[in-house]
Structure 1
Amino acid sequence: MLRRLPVGAPLPDAGLKRVLGVGSLLTLGVGGTIGAGLFSLTGIAAGDNAGPAVIVSFAVAAIACAFAGLCYGELAGMIPSAGSAYVYAYAALGELAGWIIGWDLVLEYTVGASAVSVSWARYMRSLLEGWGIHIDPRFMASPFEVVGMVDGQPVHGLANLPAVFIIFALSALLMRGISESARLNGVIVVVKLVIIAAVIGFGLPYINTANYTPFIPPNTGEFGHYGVSGIMRAAGLVFFAYLGFDAISTVAQETRNPGRAMPIGLMGTLAICTLVYISFSFVLTGLVNYRDLAGDAAPVATAIDQTPFVWLKAAVKVGVICGFLSVMLLMLLGQSRVFFAMARDGLLPPMFGRTHKRWGTPVACHLFFMVVTGIMAAFLPITQLANMTSIGTLLAFVIVCVGVMVLRVREADRPRVFRVPGGMVVPIAGIISCLVVMVSLDGLTWLRLVVWLAIGLVIYGLYGMRHSRLGRDMPAMHDRA
């Protein structure tokens, strides 16, 4: 008999505190979505693929995300539980599908947080050196990275201690309480948006309108190199700049009135981020000709050189650092809530399904991932960490859209606080758009995903399937019947 979480059943008392409102969800979402990708992906997508029409690419990617976001909103209202896509898949498609998505999301959040912490450490080093503060580079790199030469011999890093420090500090904050974390995140997001607004505002008067011609550069004969195909290839690239917003749904069980707040938080985040991305790309491609952005590792610095405001370069570094902080905060939060939900359902050891009596947070989950993520950040180079892309998040998007369709049939009469408009059109469009992006990813990315899922299936077979709370309850329910 297929094990499925019952939709509409009272949620078990998880010990999580419902303290978040719409404002907190918006700051968490914006903070987790607008990261350093804004400062790098925009230039790459414009220079190599779309030209000034990268503005259209951001809009196309936003539409694809909106399909999934609407589906998240409907399911979050029906099942306001921690765990996000894991819980939705468990309820709609069964325990095995839930495990696969949950296991996959845990990897995505963990690897993502580690990679971002390494990048954060690099930007901090650059900022500190600009202030005359120097740190031994061996303590800011992994043992696999060369940091210099002595007597003709390479000197390798020892451990990336700043990356470990920031992982530990943010984990400690998250353990202390979700409301405290949300307040700090709100401050970080304000700082980040002010700096982005400064770049846009101070850059506008120096735009050269000739840089927008041609708005859609003619295709060179190679797919994805300008023209319409270039716009679509760039949309696939910048799609990953939106992937943080889905983690909002992991705090549904800590949200007041989630049926109303979740859809607003999800779609509001997407709207704000889209406006920021389009405005930023408009100014960037207006300041610098798209041809000069091709292969540029620091496109924003190049754009700022077109203005007399040298201080903006330092401000952008501060903006990137703040961007990294809020992204890490949401990733660490998301991974702990998914792990917590899986443990609460018996698929992982029960110690991970308990909350601190006073703080109301899953401290064991935070401690576990603080150590794991910290070790990865300390000893693995960013090139290795970044190899795991967002394929798992896209897979979660697909499952969520499928879940809406399944529950529309199986639970047709169940009331929904928020209902995706257009019947099955939006879920189907979400599935297609996400699958198109997934298919475009390289084979090595798929191989890593398959290997990780295979490891997860072994753990599920040895532990999760045997200790499942739903598996224990079903025979008892059958006996009573």
Structure 2
Amino acid sequence: MKIWEQMWQKESAANYEDKDARLQRVLGVKDFLALGVGTIVSASIFTLPGVIAASHAGPGVVISFILAALVAGLIAFAYAEMASAMPFAGSAYSWINVLFGEFLGWLVGWALLAEYFIALAFVGAGLSANLRGLLAEFGLQVPKAFVTPIVDGGFGDLISIVSILMVTILLSRGVKNATRVELFLVIAKVFAILLFIVVGLTAFHASNLHPFIPQYDPSIKPGPYGGWQGIWAGVSGIFLSYIGFDAIAANSAEAKNPGKTMPRGILGSLLIAVVLFSAVSLVLVGMFKASAYAGNAEPVAWALRQAGHPVVAAIVAMIAVVGMLSALIGMSMAGSRLVYSFGRDGLLPKSLGHLNQAQLPNVGLWTVAIVAIVITAFFEFSQLAQLISAGTLFAFIFVALGIYRLRPREGHDLTDPAFKMPLYPILPMVAALFALFVLLGLGIDAKLMMLGWFVLGLIVYFAYGMKHKIRESR
């Protein structure tokens, strides 16, 4: 087979159905809602509203969150239809393989791989920072060497490393037990958020919301600050918060009745998330002027303490730290299923696609954990977090456009799903264009890092993946 033909050869949906049939279909709507809310409403809800308000949007941060949710919602419609029609492990990677061919599938999967490797380390670091902040309130200090990257002379962020290991061990014993823990953590986290909202409203001052959209001020750094420029910059910064529904889709091969559970899990968790994010943002900027949160790593707890509620601040901070484990569970599950999918197809070593006696992809699970631990141990990777949004937006564009390839095949060689993206054929293009818009709004550093990551991916694909791809006979 010629190289060009190999690159654009489409995977058979029947092959994926046969291979993924070994995975246990044990997850229901409640499990996916917990997984989605736990992943989307992670550390960012306790930090991003204040950060974006101070650096970009002022009180208009609420608009930024709603606009980001609208863009994410359009993509979520496409995800819901895709996951219903093709409930395969690996989400967008597998879908694009079936609809567009091997090469684009690899690029989309490679982009998502960066998301999960870095996001896992990113959330682990966020958990570590919040735990250290909480301990400091009680006069306890973690030795700096234990949270400093090895390249800077420390031992790595040991709190983050231990957290990732704990979640990996939990997941290695089965997803059903892990989702039970996830549900408990999500309930606790939502309680903490509602507690902040209720107590925060007692210190709410409407005057702090004026002007709701500050005048554009190019002198404020990092900016842009104010005006619709600041609102849109806030959307690009916030979008990272809403990408957790990919973690739901990545586990669709383990869904009971995916035609119903996937749309409800994906769209339901996103709806819950946008309500919580918008409410926290509004209360936060109503308690104090947006500028007060500049450089503040824990705006929610800080606002409560400044308003005279130190006990509530400690409770919220404590639950927030524990609740971040839910995001680690979601990212670990989704990342391991993506790595399993690469191994299943032979684009990466076949051992990554191995299932143990309990039909769990634990080789993929530990691979994701080890890479995340290496990142958090050796590197100061805060800038790498931009790769999460860049790579995921790239995948989102192709998922939205993939609806045009999916519809003609539904009811023929692919399942005709009960849920379909509304306003076809207009909405898929609108979703793709909005995702492209947000991608172009990212900083030049994010775009350059994405380009470098794709160059590395092309080297891996042509040097290894193309030669070892498992090609089923038709």
TM-score under structure 2 length normalisation? 0.91
Matched with 1:370 is 369
Partner residue in 1 for 2:205 = 208
Segment drifting more, 168-177 vs 17-26? 168-177
**Aligned sequence identity (%):** 32
Q: 2:82 maps to what in 1?
A: 75
- Contact 2:345/2:469 (CA < 8 Å) preserved in 1? yes
Residues 410 and 259 from structure 1, CA distance in 2 versus in 1: closer, same or farther, beyond 3 angstroms?
closer
Alignment-derived partner of residue 379 in structure 1? 378
Q: CA deviation at 1:410?
A: 5.2
CA contact (8 A) 1:224 1:232 kept: no
| 3-state SS of 1:12 partner | helix
CA distance in 2 between counterparts of 1:384 and 1:217 reads 27
Q: What is the CA-CA distance between 1:411 and the residue it aligns to?
A: 4.9
2:93 counterpart of 1:86: yes
Deviations 1:36-77 (A, max 9, x none): 211222112223332222212211111100110000011101
Q: 1:449 to 1:215 in 2, by over 3 A?
A: closer
Q: Distance in 1 between matches of 2:208 and 2:378?
A: 43
1:440 aligns with 2:435: no
Secondary structure at the counterpart of residue 285 of structure 1: helix
Runs of 5+ unmatched residues, structure 1: 146-155
- The answer to which of 1-10 and 429-438 deviates more is 1-10
Which of 146, 165, 176 aligns to 1:168? It is 165
Alpha carbons 1:114, 1:385 under 8 Å: kept: no
**Number of residue-to-residue matches in the alignment:** 462
Structure 1 residues 412 and 247: alpha-carbon distance in aligned structure 2, compared to 1, 3 A threshold: same
Structure 2 residue 281 is matched with structure 1 residue 281? yes
**C-alpha distance in 1, partners of 2:353/2:173?**
17
1:331 corresponds to: 331
Q: Which residue of structure 2 lines up, in the alignment, with residue 195 of structure 1? A: 192
Q: Conserved in 2, the CA contact under 8 Å of 1:30 and 1:269?
A: yes
Shift of 1:251: 0.5
> For the residues of structure 2 that align with 1:49 and 1:385, how far apart are their CA atoms?
20
CA separation of 1:217 and 1:140: change in aligned 2, threshold 3 A: closer
Residue 248 of structure 1: CA displacement?
A: 0.7
Q: TM-score, normalised by structure 1?
A: 0.90
Q: Which stretch of the first structure deviates more once superposed, 410-419 or 240-249?
A: 410-419
C-alpha contact (below 8 Å) 2:118/2:388 kept by paired residues:
no
Q: Structure 1 456/220 Cα, relative in aligned 2: closer, same or farther at 3 Å?
A: closer
Specify the code of the residue in structure 2 equivalent to 1:416. P
Choose which of 23, 27, 32 in structure 2 pairs with 1:25. Answer: 32
For the residue of structure 2 that corresponds to 1:393, the secondary structure is: helix
Q: Distance in 1 between matches of 2:296 and 2:64?
A: 19
Q: Which runs of 5+ in 2 are unaligned?
A: none
Separation in structure 1 between the aligned mates of residue 384 and residue 423 of structure 2, nearest angstrom: 40
Match of 2:61 in 1: 54
Does the 8 Å CA contact 1:398/1:430 hold for their aligned counterparts?
yes
Q: 2:301·2:317 contact (CA, 8 Å) conserved in 1?
A: no
CA deviation vs aligned residue, 1:351-403 (integer Å, no higher than 9, x gap): 21121112x21111122222222222222224355353421111111110011
* Mapping 1:425-464, distance limit 5 Å: 425-464=426-465
Query: Does the CA contact (< 8 Å) of 1:250 and 1:337 recur in 2?
Result: yes
**Aligned residue type for 2:405:** V
The one-letter code matched in structure 1 to 2:334 is G
Query: Residue type of the partner of 1:200?
Result: I
1:96 paired residue number: 103
1:3 alignment partner AA: Q
Q: CA deviation at 1:243?
A: 1.6
Name the SS for the 1:427 alignment partner: helix
Return closer, same or farther for 1:231/1:133 CA change in 2, 3 Å cut-off.
closer
Paired residues of 1:203 and 1:287 also in contact (CA < 8 A): yes
Deviation at 1:132, TM superposition (A): 5.2
Deviations 1:283-337 (A, max 9, x none): 1111112243344444224421453211122223224313431222111111110
